[in-house]
Amino acid sequence: MKKVLTLCLALMMLACVFSLTVFARDEEIPHAYVTIVDENGEIAVAMQEVSCASNGVTIDDILKRAHDEYYDGGSAAGYASAESTYGRSLIKLWGNESGSYGYYLNNASPKSLADEVKPGDHIYAFVYTDTVAWTDIYCFFNKNHANADKGDIATLTLYMTGFDENWNPVTLPVTGAVITVDGEKTDLITDENGQVAITYDKAGELIVSAVHDEMNLTPPVMIVNVNSGSGFLMIVLIILVALLAAKFTALFFFNKKLRKGI
pLDDT in tens, the chain (262 residues): 555 445 444 444 544 444 444 444 444 679 999 999 999 999 999 999 999 988 899 999 999 999 999 999 999 999 999 999 989 999 999 999 999 999 999 999 999 999 999 999 999 999 999 999 999 999 999 999 999 999 999 999 999 999 888 989 899 999 999 999 999 999 999 999 999 999 999 999 999 999 999 999 999 999 999 998 655 555 655 676 566 656 655 565 555 555 555 5
**CA atoms of 81 and 91, how far apart (whole Å):** 5
Distance, in Å, from the CA atom of 62 to the CA atom of 14, rounded to the nearest integer, reads: 42
Residue 46 has a CB neighbour count (10 Å cut-off) of 20
Phi and psi dihedrals of 237, rounded to 5?
A: -65, -40
CA nearest neighbour of 139 among 104, 165, 115: 104
Angle at 114 between CA 109 and CA 117, to 5 degrees: 75
Other beta carbons within 10 Å of 159: 18
Evaluate whether 209 touches 174 at the Cβ level (below 8 Å): no
